[in-house]
Amino acid sequence: MSVSDQPPTSTDAVPEAVSGVVPEGPAAAIAAGYAFRGDALDLGALLWDGACHPGARIRVPLGLLNRHGLVAGATGTGKTKTLQLIAEQLSAQGVPVFLADVKGDLSGLSAPGRDGEKVRERAAQVGQEWTATGFPCAFYGLGGLGAGIPVRATVTSFGPVLLAKVLQLNRTQEQSLGLIFHYADRKGLELVDLKDLRAVVAFLVSDEGRPELKGVGGLSTATAGVILRSLTAFEQQGTAEFFGEPEFDTAELLRTAEDGRGVVSVLELPAVQDKPQLFSTFLMWLLADLFHDLPEVGDLDRPKLVFFFDEAHLLFSGASKAFLESITQTVRLIRSKGVGVFFVTQTPKDVPADVLAQLGNRVQHALRAFTPDDAKALKATVRTFPDSAYDLEEVLTGLGTGEAVVTVLGETGAPTPVAVTRLRAPESLMGPVDAAALDAAVRGSEAYGRYATAVDRESAYERLTAEQPRADEEPVPEKPRAAEPARRAPESGDDESLVRQVVGSGMFKSLARSVGTQLGREITRSLFGTSRRRR
* Most trustworthy range by pLDDT among 24-33, 76-85, 487-496: 76-85
- Identity at 499, one-letter amino acid code: V
Instruction: Kindly state the DSSP code that residue 450 receives in the 8-state scheme.
Output: H
The CATH number of the domain holding residue 141 is 3.40.50.300
Q: What angle do CA 38, 44, 49 make, to 5 degrees?
A: 120
* Mean pLDDT confidence for 253-278: 90
- Under 8 Å between Cβ of 22 and 56: yes
Q: Does pLDDT of 491 surpass 80? A: no
Of the candidates 111, 170, 120, the one whose C-alpha atom is nearest the C-alpha of residue 437 is 111
Q: What is the pLDDT of residue 486?
A: 39
Please, which pLDDT band fits residue 249 given cuts at 50, 70 and 90? Answer: very high
pTM, two decimals, is: 0.83
Q: Does pLDDT of 41 surpass 80? A: yes
403 membership: H or E segment, kind and range = strand 403-407
Please, which pLDDT band fits residue 466 given cuts at 50, 70 and 90? Answer: low
Q: Rounded to an integer, what distance in angstroms lies between the CA atom of residue 415 and that of residue 438?
A: 40
Positive or negative, the CA dihedral 219, 223, 226, 230 is negative
Lowest mean pLDDT among 71-75, 210-214, 344-348, 417-421: 210-214
pLDDT digits (tens, 9 = 90+) for 392-413: 999 999 999 999 999 999 999 9
- Asked if residue 292 is part of any domain, the answer here is yes
- Asked if residue 232 is part of any domain, the answer here is no
Residue with the bigger pLDDT between 216 and 272: it is: 272
| Percent of the chain predicted with pLDDT > 90 | 54
Q: Rounded to an integer, what distance in angstroms lies between the CA atom of residue 148 and that of residue 139?
A: 5
Cis bond upstream, residue 432 (ω within 30): no
Q: What is the pLDDT of residue 327?
A: 87
Please, which pLDDT band fits residue 527 given cuts at 50, 70 and 90? Answer: low
* Mean pLDDT confidence for 60-77: 94
- Asked if residue 451 is part of any domain, the answer here is no
Continuous H helices in 237-389:
276-293, 313-316, 321-334, 353-356, 372-383
Continuous H helices in 209-352:
221-236, 276-293, 313-316, 321-334
- Asked if residue 476 is part of any domain, the answer here is no
Residue range of the domain that includes 432: 9-152+245-444
Tally the domains of the chain: 1
Question: What Å distances lie between residue 133 and 117, 137, 146, CA to CA?
Answer: 17, 12, 26
Q: Does pLDDT of 147 surpass 70? A: yes
Residue with the bigger pLDDT between 428 and 20: it is: 428
pLDDT digits (tens, 9 = 90+) for 177-196: 999 998 888 888 889 999 99
Q: What is the pLDDT of residue 108?
A: 95
Q: Does pLDDT of 530 surpass 90? A: no
Q: What is the pLDDT of residue 326?
A: 83
Segments of 27-147 assigned E as strands: 40-48, 51-61, 69-72, 97-101, 137-142
Q: Rounded to an integer, what distance in angstroms lies between the CA atom of residue 43 and that of residue 127?
A: 11
* Mean pLDDT confidence for 255-261: 96
* Mean pLDDT confidence for 351-373: 92
Q: What is the pLDDT of residue 198?
A: 92
Q: Does pLDDT of 8 surpass 50? A: no
Instruction: Report the mean per-residue pLDDT for the chain.
Output: 83
- Under 8 Å between Cβ of 427 and 43: no
- Asked if residue 187 is part of any domain, the answer here is no
Q: Does pLDDT of 350 surpass 60? A: yes
Residue with the bigger pLDDT between 516 and 56: it is: 56
- Asked if residue 270 is part of any domain, the answer here is yes
Residue 266: strand pairing partners: 99, 139
Q: What is the pLDDT of residue 464?
A: 60
- Asked if residue 164 is part of any domain, the answer here is no
Q: What is the pLDDT of residue 426?
A: 97
Q: Does pLDDT of 508 surpass 50? A: no
* Most trustworthy range by pLDDT among 92-96, 281-285, 486-490: 92-96
- Asked if residue 52 is part of any domain, the answer here is yes
Half-sphere exposure of 248 (CA within 13 A, CB side): 31
Q: What is the pLDDT of residue 21?
A: 61
Q: Rounded to an integer, what distance in angstroms lies between the CA atom of residue 404 and that of residue 77?
A: 9
Q: Does pLDDT of 24 surpass 50? A: yes
Q: What is the pLDDT of residue 525?
A: 66
